[in-house]
Amino acid sequence: MTSHTEVAVEGIRHLGYPDYFRVLIAIFKVCGAIVLIVPAFKGNIKEWAYAGFTFIFISAAVSHTVVDGFGVQSVFPLVILAILAGSYVTYHKLRNS
């Protein structure tokens, strides 16, 4: 898992978060990805997964901006958030048709 690489460990440490936070976020991301990918999950559980990823990506952008200033590290999570937003809109269009 990429959350256990030295780059990931140092990245979380650099932002000032404890090491257990890295593991917690990795678990939440894997669970959220499964919920978003598997069609059997519907309704509120998917909404919570989308919300969780939104919180994670916004928090990542804010954390990088506060620690390192505004730059690529701050923008990248927002780009991924835009892709997630497209997925969310598509999910609702397919669900309502």
pLDDT tens sequence across 29-88: 999 999 999 999 988 999 999 999 999 999 999 999 999 999 999 999 999 999 999 999
Helices and strands in the chain: count of H runs, count of E runs: 4, 0
Q: What is the dihedral of CA 29, 69, 83, 50, to 10 degrees?
A: 40
pLDDT value of position 34: 97
- Cα separations in angstroms, 21 against 40, 55, 69, 96: 29, 14, 22, 37
Most confident of 13-17, 22-26, 47-51: 47-51
